[in-house]
């Protein structure tokens, strides 16, 4: 972040001020509505074209990715410890669902609130650093949460994981993943809309301003740390929403949900989809989850080899990501037409 | 009393590994502005390489102690030239991500060849047994690690403090912009310094082989503790990284010994220290704020 060499705007995947967010806002209304309608149609069709269990995972991971992009793309903070919020919510959701027998949306809400609560102290400490330090600090605190979950066996069951998380919803039969998908779709869409609303609010504009020039934002009188912390807590809440749904979806919570590879995977998904594009994360989630399912189904065991390889290639050759590349091409064509 | 001394000794040995890894991270960061996530993976490769050399070619510990750091240092230099170099002009976060991807690849390569079980590595016969310190006994091998690491740190200290190469590395680590402004071509030091940092990680791995379980994941959890160590010491400070490495080793060993009823405490104490340091000195105990953010 403070490197001596200025990052050339053309090279950077993090959009310079007039690109990304603002361009999306400038796209003609009908294009945005058409894209939104198409996205919703795909979402409604998804469990008919894929295994419903995979479709459920895609929804959960879409929320996770968007929560990470809210920080990475729009606040300029790369959290490498988001598994802490995803996983904490998964455990809290599982525990609430098992012990209180509440309908699953209430359990998931409890989980997401717990995640947001955890994000408050971690974020308070982490926003004292920026750039690479921020990534290391969030990663370290996430690992601390992992150790706690590992050792606190009376609550988390340690390596055995939480078994038998119920899918209770006023007696409705949601045991089939196909119906469960449609039960969680509204929650996920609400979460995604919330992220979109945050990004396109005055608050979101301030975040982008902080991302592009923290010193200027501070000089304009914005309490930079407080804005970053608020974004961090909101992001923790959204990640928690995804993690809670993931727990109910699998009816099982394992320690993996808190492992640092989960945090890393969330960042891969965002980079692959396109940093700072919000909806790119949804695409990235769909691709990575689908690919991992396909790999494990075909008996390929070294999944890290493939995801790591994707990571290396994307970072080296494809930094704009999928959505970022599409937006970039559309922008170039638009500029050519105006000329 | 003897128990306390023994725990202290253990803490210094554990700290020696943190110090070696943190030292490598610090010089690499200084020269390249890269936080090398793959550092733990190279530590693992060092240990695994020693195991494979012994099990499949009969190469003894002492030879591995020379071969593995050299081989890994070379591999590091190739990687720097081939991929890491391409991202130096971009935000440092991209190289963090790149090395994260490399970590997954290296781990899975080893995992798919050797499985996830731990492989035993015998302590070299010259170093088996224990040394009697009067008040307490201590395993010879651990005495060796401590002596060797302290010696190594002293040599690195001397090189950094007294030679021209060291002067450039120190200057570039602590004030990169100023060093460039003095017309020093930092660029030509980048590749060898990266190789050197990786060699240190590999060396730590070979040293760890007889003492810790050799398995593909042994570096993964360690590296995150080392990240916490360098946040505590201050990533821009070479001395801070080494001092924090030994300090955290001590605190962990004491925690394990005297708070053994609370295993959560002994495992998380390093992160608690990190939180305290962030509250009190966000740039680390020995670090400087790079630029007002």
How does DSSP assign B9-61, residue by residue? HHHHHHHHHHHHHHHHHHHHHHHH----TTHHHHHHHHHHHHHHHHHHH---H
Taking each helix axis as running N to C, give the angle between helix A131-151 and helix A104-126, from 0 to 180 degrees, rounded to the nearest 10.
130
| Confidence bin at A21 (pLDDT 50/70/90) | very low
Q: What is the phi/psi pair of residue A209, to 5°?
A: -60, -40
| Confidence bin at A27 (pLDDT 50/70/90) | low
| Residue A185 to chain B, least CA–CA distance (Å) | 31
Report whether B100 contacts A264 (CB < 8 A). Answer: yes
**CB of A305 less than 8 A from some CB of B:** yes
pLDDT of residue A5: 34
Question: Residues A109-141: pLDDT tens digits?
Answer: 999 999 999 999 999 999 988 888 899 899 999
Distance CA A166, CA A92 (A): 13
Q: How much is the pTM?
A: 0.87
pLDDT of residue A339: 63
Say how far residue A102 (Cα) sits from the centre of its chain: 26
What SS3 state is found at B132? Answer: strand
| Confidence bin at A278 (pLDDT 50/70/90) | confident
pLDDT of residue B122: 79
| Residue B15 to chain A, least CA–CA distance (Å) | 18
This model of the complex carries an ipTM of 0.86
Is 50 exceeded by the pLDDT of residue B46? Answer: yes
> For the CA atoms of B208, B214, B215, B217, what is the dihedral angle to 10 degrees?
-20
User: For B177-181, what is the mean pLDDT?
Assistant: 79
Choosing among B21, B26, B80, B90, which should be mutated to test the A contact, i.e. which has the most A CBs within 10 A?
A: B90
Closest residue to B93, CB basis, from A5, A131, A139: A131
Choosing among B101, B175, B273, which should be mutated to test the A contact, i.e. which has the most A CBs within 10 A?
A: B101
* Nearest residue of chain B to residue A129 (CA atoms): B282
Percent of chain B with pLDDT strictly greater than 70: 97
Say how far residue A327 (Cα) sits from the centre of its chain: 20
**CB of A7 less than 8 A from some CB of B:** yes
| Residue B133 to chain A, least CA–CA distance (Å) | 35
pLDDT of residue A23: 43
Residue with more model confidence, A297 or B252: B252
A4, B221: Cβ pair inside 8 Å?
no
* Nearest residue of chain A to residue B94 (CA atoms): A315
**CB of B201 less than 8 A from some CB of A:** no
pLDDT of residue A2: 37
B91, A3: Cβ pair inside 8 Å?
yes
Contacts of A135 in chain B (CB under 8 A): 35, 93, 96
Question: Residues B201-217: pLDDT tens digits?
Answer: 999 999 998 888 888 88
* Nearest residue of chain A to residue B278 (CA atoms): A125
User: For B52-76, what is the mean pLDDT?
Assistant: 91
**CB of B280 less than 8 A from some CB of A:** no
Tell me which residues of chain A, numbers 35 to 64, contact chain B at a CB-CB cutoff of 8 Å.
none
pLDDT of residue B88: 80
B268, A144: Cβ pair inside 8 Å?
yes
pLDDT of residue B250: 93
Choosing among A311, A314, A317, which should be mutated to test the B contact, i.e. which has the most B CBs within 10 A?
A: A311
Lowest-pLDDT choice from A28-42, A128-142, A177-191, B17-31 = A28-42
Q: What is the phi/psi pair of residue B123, to 5°?
A: -65, 135
| Confidence bin at A19 (pLDDT 50/70/90) | very low
Mean pLDDT of chain B: 86
| Residue A213 to chain B, least CA–CA distance (Å) | 9
Q: How many CB atoms lie within 10 A of CB A172?
A: 12
| Residue B124 to chain A, least CA–CA distance (Å) | 33
B274, A137: Cβ pair inside 8 Å?
yes
A140, B33: Cβ pair inside 8 Å?
no
A14, B91: Cβ pair inside 8 Å?
yes
Tell me which residues of chain A, numbers 106 to 145, contact chain B at a CB-CB cutoff of 8 Å.
125-126, 128-133, 135-137, 139-141, 143-144
Percent of chain A with pLDDT strictly greater than 70: 91
HSE toward the beta carbon, residue A295, CA cutoff 13 A: 14
| Confidence bin at A338 (pLDDT 50/70/90) | low
pLDDT of residue A18: 38
């Amino acid at each position: 972040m403070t490197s001596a060499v200025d990052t050339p705007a053309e090279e950077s995947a993090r959009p310079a001020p007039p690109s990304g967010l603002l361009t999306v806002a400038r796209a003609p209304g009908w294009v945005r509505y058409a894209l939104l309608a198409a996205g919703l149609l795909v979402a409604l069709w998804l469990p008919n074209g894929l295994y419903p269990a995979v479709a459920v995972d895609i929804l959960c991971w879409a929320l996770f990715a968007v929560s990470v992009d809210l920080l990475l793309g729009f606040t300029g903070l790369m959290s490498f410890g988001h598994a802490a919020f995803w996983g904490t919510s998964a455990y809290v959701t599982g525990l609430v669902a098992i012990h209180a027998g509440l309908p699953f949306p209430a359990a998931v809400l409890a989980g997401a609130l717990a995640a947001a609560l955890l994000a408050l102290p971690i974020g308070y400490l982490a926003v004292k650093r920026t750039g690479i330090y921020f990534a290391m600090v969030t990663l370290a605190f996430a690992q601390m949460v992992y150790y706690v979950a590992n050792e606190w066996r009376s609550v988390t069951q340690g390596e055995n994981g939480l078994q038998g998380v119920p899918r209770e919803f006023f007696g409705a039969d949601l045991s089939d993943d196909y119906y469960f998908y449609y039960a969680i779709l509204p929650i996920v869409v609400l979460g995604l809309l919330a992220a979109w609303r945050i990004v396109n609010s005055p608050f979101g504009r301030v975040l982008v301003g902080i991302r592009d020039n923290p010193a200027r934002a501070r000089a304009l009188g914005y309490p930079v740390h407080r804005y970053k912390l608020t974004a961090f807590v909101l992001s923790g809440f959204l990640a928690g929403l995804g993690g809670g749904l993931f727990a109910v979806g699998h009816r099982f919570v394992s320690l993996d949900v808190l492992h640092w590879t989960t945090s890393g995977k969330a960042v891969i998904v965002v980079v692959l989809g396109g940093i700072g594009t919000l909806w790119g994360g949804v695409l990235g989630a769909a691709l990575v989850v689908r690919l991992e399912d396909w790999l494990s189904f075909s008996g390929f065991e070294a999944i890290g080899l493939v995801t790591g390889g994707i990571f290396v290639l994307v970072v080296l050759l494809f930094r704009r990501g999928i959505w970022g590349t599409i937006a970039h091409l559309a922008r170039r064509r638009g500029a050519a037409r105006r000329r | 009393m003897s128990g306390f001394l023994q725990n202290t000794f253990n803490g210094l040995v554990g700290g020696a590994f943190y110090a070696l890894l943190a030292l490598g991270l610090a010089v690499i960061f200084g020269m390249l502005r890269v936080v090398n996530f793959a550092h733990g993976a190279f530590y693992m490769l060092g240990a695994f390489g020693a195991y494979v050399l012994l099990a499949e070619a009969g190469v003894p510990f002492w030879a591995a102690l020379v071969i593995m750091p050299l081989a890994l240092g070379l591999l590091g230099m190739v990687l720097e030239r081939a991929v890491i170099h391409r991202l130096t002009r971009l935000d440092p976060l991209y190289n963090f991500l790149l090395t994260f991807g490399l970590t997954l690849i290296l781990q899975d390569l080893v995992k798919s060849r050797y499985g996830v079980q731990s492989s035993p590595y015998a302590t070299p016969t010259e170093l088996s047994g224990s040394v009697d310190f009067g008040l307490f006994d201590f395993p010879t091998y651990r005495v060796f690690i401590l002596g060797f690491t302290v010696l190594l740190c002293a040599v690195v200290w001397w090189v950094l403090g007294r030679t021209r190469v060291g002067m450039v590395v120190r200057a570039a680590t602590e004030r990169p912009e100023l060093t460039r402004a003095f017309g020093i071509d930092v660029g030509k030091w980048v590749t060898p310094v990266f190789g050197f940092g990786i060699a240190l990680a590999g060396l730590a791995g070979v040293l760890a082989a007889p003492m810790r379980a050799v398995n593909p994941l042994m570096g993964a959890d360690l590296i995150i503790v080392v990240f916490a160590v360098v946040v505590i010491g201050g990533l821009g400070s070479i001395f801070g990284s080494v001092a924090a490495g030994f300090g955290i080793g001590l605190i962990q060993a004491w925690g394990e010994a005297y708070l053994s009823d609370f295993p959560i405490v002994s495992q998380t104490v390093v992160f608690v220290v990190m939180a305290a340091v962030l509250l009190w000195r966000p740039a680390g105990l020995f670090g400087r704020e790079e630029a007002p953010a």
